[in-house]
Amino acid sequence: MTRFIVRRMLLSIPVLAAIVFFAFLMVRLQPEGPFNSSAGGHALPENLRLMMETRYGLHRPFQEQFMIYLGNVLKGDFGPLLRSRYQTVNEVIAYSLPISLQLGFSAIVLGLLIGVPAGIIAALRHNRPMDYVATFIAVIGISIPNLVLAPVLVLFFGLKLNWLPIAFWGAEAPFTFGVLPPLDLNFFKHAVLPVSTLGVAVSATIARLVRSSLLEVLSEDYIRTARAKGIRERMVIVRHALKNALIPTVTILGPLFVTLLPGMVIVENIFAINGLARVMVDSVFDSEYFLLSGSILVFAIILVVGNLMADILYVWLDPRISYREAG
């Protein structure tokens, strides 16, 4: 088992290396340096420009620069913030990353809370009206893009009914333990709309997955055995069927975060939330090269780690998969 984990981790290293390289290319391949005033309208005095360029080694050969950048990244230094001399990229990431994490995590939790029961009910009432209704709603839920759902929710719940605030996140850095938000009413009021926007698609996906895997499991022989043994239906489902049916759901959580990313970009944009996705997009237009590559890197690391954990979890949970063939 450990051998598999180690091997899987080793396989992620080239991926991470490629992403670091990609992020570095973004910064370095500009025809003009990031500190030239013409590039982003950052008018740095000449001596400061030279100093910054020397500090970040922009006159050295390409490979050396990459090594320097790699070294900096490994030390945790993502570079300077170009629009303000007193902030670094790290600080910006530090206050925006937790917000994105909270948003994404809440969306997934919401998705699970709605999707799993819905999928179970649909599977148990297979081919009856409840199933069709649930499946239909799930297909609609998957088809409506976040881009469409967000303004509709804003219009309906925020503007027409005026129940919920339509902008900003209800909490700000610093957070407890760095990530946990204060769970008060203000936070929840602000969180409902953005999280629901993201959560709809997630719950639709999860519901479909749970339904199909539960249906598959219920037709297995061991379920038949359990029923023949006289175990009550509820016990059969909960103790035998569910545990196996939920394995695909658990392992999809990693890749699910990946699909959440474009949605997060939109939601953070529409709801004016200061998360890392919005910071990343804004940095493109502000020509904040270091911030852009740093935030891409951070997201990529999170996604790769998420996939890694999903793979490991999958192998750990399903005893039928041998570690060798899963690698």
* Sites of contact with another protein (CB under 8 A): 12, 14-15, 18-19, 22-23, 26, 29-31, 139-140, 142-145, 147-148, 151-152, 154-155, 159, 258, 261-262, 265-266, 269-270, 280-281, 284-285, 287, 292, 296, 299-300, 303-304, 307
Q: How far is the CB of 186 from another protein (least distance, A)?
A: 23
Token pair of 241, please?
Answer: 């069927």
Nearer to another protein, 18 or 235 (CB): 18
Q: How far is the CB of 287 from another protein (least distance, A)?
A: 7
Token pair of 200, please?
Answer: 């709809």
* Centroid of chain to Cα 178: 17
Radius of gyration of the CA atoms of the chain, in A = 24
Q: How far is the CB of 301 from another protein (least distance, A)?
A: 10
Nearer to another protein, 124 or 147 (CB): 147
The full DSSP string for 250-316 is HHHHHHHHHHHHHHHHHHHHHTT---HHHHHHHHHHTT-HHHHHHHHHHHHHHHHHHHHHHHHHHHH
Residues 157 and 164 sit within 8 Å (Cβ to Cβ): yes
Nearer to another protein, 202 or 300 (CB): 300
β partners of residue 88: 80
Nearest to 83 by CA among 54, 40, 127: 40
Q: How far is the CB of 74 from another protein (least distance, A)?
A: 20
Q: How far is the CB of 11 from another protein (least distance, A)?
A: 8
Nearer to another protein, 100 or 244 (CB): 100
Which residues lie below 8 Å from residue 267, measured CB to CB, with a gap of 6+? 103, 146, 150, 194, 197, 198, 273
Residues 39 and 32 sit within 8 Å (Cβ to Cβ): yes
- CA–CA distance, 139 with 142 (Å, rounded to integer): 5
Nearer to another protein, 71 or 327 (CB): 327
Q: How far is the CB of 281 from another protein (least distance, A)?
A: 5
Q: How far is the CB of 165 from another protein (least distance, A)?
A: 14
Nearer to another protein, 152 or 238 (CB): 152
Nearer to another protein, 113 or 284 (CB): 284
